[in-house]
Amino acid sequence: MHEDSPAAARTTAAPRTPARTAPALTESLTEPLSASLPEAPPPGPPAGHSATTIERGSFCLARCSCGWSGPARRSRDRARTDAAEHLTAP
């Protein structure tokens, strides 16, 4: 009695893509995570000071990697002396 149209017969659902699942964490690790990390060097004394001079126009000042800064508006020679004094200070 009732027949489907030929267009309806040709229509099909789109093919489904299989769902991807992530492997379980225990399955993906064959060895402990700590075994694949490089060993950190043992903690030692902090790095030494590294003083340098910085020019600002015709003046110079000394600065250190520890955050110390010498007086501003010095000659290059005096800024170098300030840096040397800082490095020898306890």
Tell me the whole-structure pTM to 2 decimals. 0.46
pLDDT digits (tens, 9 = 90+) for 69-82: 999 899 999 999 99
> CB under 8 Å to 72, separation ≥6 — which residues?
56, 59, 61
Cα-based distances in Å from 44 to 41, 47, 51: 8, 9, 21
Alpha carbons within 13 A on the beta-carbon side of 2:
0
The residues spanned by each domain of the chain are: 49-90
Nearest to 46 by CA among 60, 65, 27: 65
pLDDT digits (tens, 9 = 90+) for 18-41: 766 666 555 555 666 555 666 766
Q: Once rounded to an integer, what is the mean pLDDT over residues 6-27?
A: 62
